[in-house]
Amino acid sequence: MTRKRVFIAPSILASDFGELRNTVKKMNGWGIDRIHIDVMDGHFVPNITIGPQVISSIRSATDIPFETHLMIEEPHRYVKEFIDAGSDIVIVHCEAERNATKSLNLIKRYGAYAGIAINPDTDFESVKHYLPKVDTFLVMSVHPGFGGQKFMKESLSKVKQARNRIDQLGCETLISVDGGIDVKTGRMAVAAGADELVAGTAIFKSRNVLATIKKLRESR
Ligand code: DX5
Ligand code: ZN
């Protein structure tokens, strides 16, 4: 069952980290559903961003749910810290550990919503068994590590596969698409079955943020 409304999750990776707290405060007026926080460790991906300390320091600036996208190795070692810091949804990569079940169970045990992310080079078949166990299934439409990359159209088939499987199972798992999302590619992702659009560059570098968010939301 596709949701009636498209969820919008701006990724703060494209924002000015020196202004982060003020940015998050401003986001209160954007009518968005989640704030997407990209955590990178320099091992799982060739870039380093922020950790739980920064997340806890911006937590009091908003009530909007924090969706923390962990692009780190051995995520099970850190999920508790990210939840204690204020993450409402924690997404781990299926490629980060041999079996993501341990991390997913820990996330739920500590009271957050659990998500699994899949890289462009990973087959849907190898991860479909996680679908009934997660709240969010995040399809990467770029190779993770950096914002501002070009949307990979090949990822749309994975979105379709996930949509079919979720509908077959009748579960509530939300399909999110992350990477290179703008008004045009957002529409393609939603047409393929996405429920949520993660967008960094398209929102933060937009001349009219509210208008861009509105257009992204109207992707359906
Ligand atoms: C990439 C991150 C994305 C990124 C998206 O590794 O997971 O969330 O911030 O940025 P844009 O929208 O610029 O592709
Ligand atoms: Zn992300």
Domains in the chain, CATH or no CATH each: 7-217 (3.20.20.70)
Minimal CA–CA distance to 216: which of 196, 38, 35, 178?
A: 196
Residue tagged active-site, from 33, 135, 178, 182: 178
Q: What is the DSSP letter of 28?
A: T
Evaluate: CB of 14 within 6 angstroms of ligand 1.
yes
Three-state SS for 139?
A: strand
Evaluate: CB of 9 within 6 angstroms of ligand 1.
no
169-178: b (≥16 Cβ within 10 Å) or e: eebebbbbbb
| Backbone torsions φ then ψ of 45, nearest 5 degrees | -135, 155
Closest residue to atom 6 of ligand 1, CA basis: 144
Per-residue pLDDT of the chain (220 residues; tens, 9 = 90+): 667 899 999 999 999 999 999 999 999 999 999 999 999 999 999 999 999 999 999 999 999 999 999 999 999 999 999 999 999 999 999 999 999 999 999 999 999 999 999 999 999 999 999 999 999 999 999 999 999 999 999 999 999 999 999 999 999 999 999 999 999 999 999 999 999 999 999 999 999 999 999 999 999 8
Q: State in Å: Cα 108 to ligand 2 middle.
A: 20
Ligand 1 nearest atom to the CA of residue 180, by list position? 14
Residues 6+ apart with CB under 8 A from 128: 161, 162, 165
Evaluate: CB of 122 within 6 angstroms of ligand 1.
no
Can you list the alpha helix ranges (DSSP code H) found in 62-199? Answer: 79-84, 101-109, 155-169, 183-192
- Residue carrying structure tokens 């257009």: 215
